């Protein structure tokens, strides 16, 4: 069975799994305890934070450990909205954000905030000029994802950040970096990015752990009140094994980024060329999208049936993002890109990782052609 759903989650790196098991067995002390076991855990936490900060080229004090990107995104958006209400109650985001950003903004709308949802072009991106033009006197925050989790489209977040900081320096800029990290280079310091969300299981770390970079000097209202962990910015006993595992996965992903991205770009091109050669399919990912995500539609066919046919032939893919895969309505992302309801209802996402080879792609394309033919035969009989 070939797993081709890396955008949903990645298999843990063997070194990461070993590290987590070792830390869980040996270092179970609460890092807030004053005895020797607590001090050992505190030292591991400190070292892991330094590793994460070093990889992102920021300060350790600018890293908040969270339970994953959904919490990081909520903490950034709601934390900023609540902290800076005196500046205004207007937020800007895009129509194609992950649900943890999109629904967070919807929640704030219901509580009295005004939100501008920027429309995207046919490739699923926004421009820096579009973002800056939407800023109002009462705008507090702009949140734009780096790489779209369904189609792999890449937003120019570096250019957006730079222009935003020149034209509107008081407006905070948050980037959901979940699908971009480990695949695309990005300098937080040189991009005007104030906050940046990551989730460890997207780069071969454990599930249930992530981080939020918050530029020094920015204060957020904490979502979780209680203890003084994370400098009072996020209460709760720290999950030391997973934090150490995340730090290792983060470092490995950064070290392997250029090599992995080059391999995946080649495989992506082979896959895109193969999909384009099957007349019934419509490619939704832009040609210059992220190297690991390819999305296409099968108009007139049922995406779920297509998915299960591919599974019978040994390939695991998804119909859209994992967080939305059980919804029956058309993809919000594809509709925003101007796709028809039929196209938005019949999408298949293939997302690749380090394990895949060109032979895997060729075998997948053969299975895909077979599935399309069987679907056409079924329609003919109907």
Q: How many CB atoms lie within 10 A of CB 177?
A: 26
Q: In what order do the strands lie in the sheet with 195-199?
A: 63-66, 210-214, 195-199, 172-176, 139-145, 90-94, 114-118
CA angle (39, 40, 42) in 5-degree steps: 60
Instruction: Report the C-alpha dihedral over residues 211, 212, 215, 220, rounded to 10 degrees.
Output: -130
To the nearest 10 degrees (0 to 180), the angle between helices 240-276 and 358-381 is 60
Q: Does residue 323 have an active-site annotation? A: yes
CB 156 within 8 A of CB 145: no
Query: Looking at residue 147, what DSSP letter applies?
Result: B
Q: CA 18, CA 41: separation in Å to the nearest integer?
A: 17
CB 209 within 8 A of CB 200: yes
Question: Distances from the Cα of 159 to the Cαs of 27, 134, 162, 256, 294, in angstroms?
Answer: 43, 16, 5, 25, 24
Helical residues (DSSP H) of 57-148, grouped into ranges? 69-83, 99-110, 128-134
CB 87 within 8 A of CB 170: yes
The residue annotated as part of the active site, out of 52, 104, 132, 323, is: 323
CB 295 within 8 A of CB 151: yes
Instruction: Map residue 204 onto helix, strand or coil.
Output: coil
Give which of 289, 305, 296, 307 is closest to 274, Cα–Cα: 296
CA angle (97, 165, 219) in 5-degree steps: 75
Give the sign of the dihedral formed by CA 49, CA 55, CA 56, CA 57.
Answer: positive
Q: How far does Cα 342 stand from its chain's mean position?
A: 26
Residue the block writes with tokens 């591991």: 44
List residues with catalytic annotation.
Answer: 323
């Amino acid at each position: 069975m070939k797993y081709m759903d890396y955008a949903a989650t990645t298999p843990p790196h063997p070194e990461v799994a070993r590290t987590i098991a070792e830390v869980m067995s040996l270092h179970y002390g609460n890092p807030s305890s004053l005895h020797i076991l607590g001090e050992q855990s505190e030292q591991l936490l400190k070292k892991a934070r330094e590793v994460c900060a070093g990889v992102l080229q920021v300060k350790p004090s600018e890293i908040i450990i969270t339970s994953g990107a959904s919490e990081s995104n909520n903490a950034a958006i709601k934390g900023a909205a609540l902290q800076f209400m005196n500046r205004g109650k207007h937020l800007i985001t895009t129509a194609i954000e992950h649900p943890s950003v999109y629904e967070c903004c919807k929640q704030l709308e219901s509580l009295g905030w005004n939100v501008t949802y920027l429309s995207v072009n046919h490739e699923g991106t926004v421009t820096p000029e579009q973002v800056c033009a939407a800023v109002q006197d009462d705008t507090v925050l702009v949140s734009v994802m780096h790489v779209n989790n369904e189609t792999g489209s890449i937003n120019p977040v570096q250019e957006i950040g730079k222009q935003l900081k020149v034209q509107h320096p008081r407006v905070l800029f948050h980037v959901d970096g979940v699908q971009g990290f480990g695949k695309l280079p990005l300098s937080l310091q040189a991009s005007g990015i104030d906050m940046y969300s990551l989730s460890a299981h997207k780069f071969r770390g454990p599930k249930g752990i992530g981080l939020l970079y918050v530029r020094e000097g920015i204060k957020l209202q904490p979502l979780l009140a209680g203890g003084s962990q994370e400098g009072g910015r996020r209460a709760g006993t720290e999950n030391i094994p997973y934090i150490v595992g995340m730090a290792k996965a983060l470092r490995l992903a950064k070290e392997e980024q250029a090599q992995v991205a080059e391999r995946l770009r080649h495989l992506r091109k082979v896959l895109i060329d193969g999909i384009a050669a099957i007349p019934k399919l419509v490619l939704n990912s832009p040609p210059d999208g992220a190297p690991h995500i390819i999305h296409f539609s099968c108009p007139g066919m049922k995406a779920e049936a297509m998915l299960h046919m591919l599974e019978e032939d040994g390939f695991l893919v998804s119909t859209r993002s994992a967080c939305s895969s059980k919804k029956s309505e058309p993809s919000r992302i594809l509709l925003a890109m101007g796709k028809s309801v039929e196209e938005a209802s019949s999408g298949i996402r293939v997302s690749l990782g380090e394990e895949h080879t060109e032979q895997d792609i060729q075998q997948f394309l053969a299975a895909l052609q077979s599935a399309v033919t069987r679907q056409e035969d079924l329609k003919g009989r109907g």
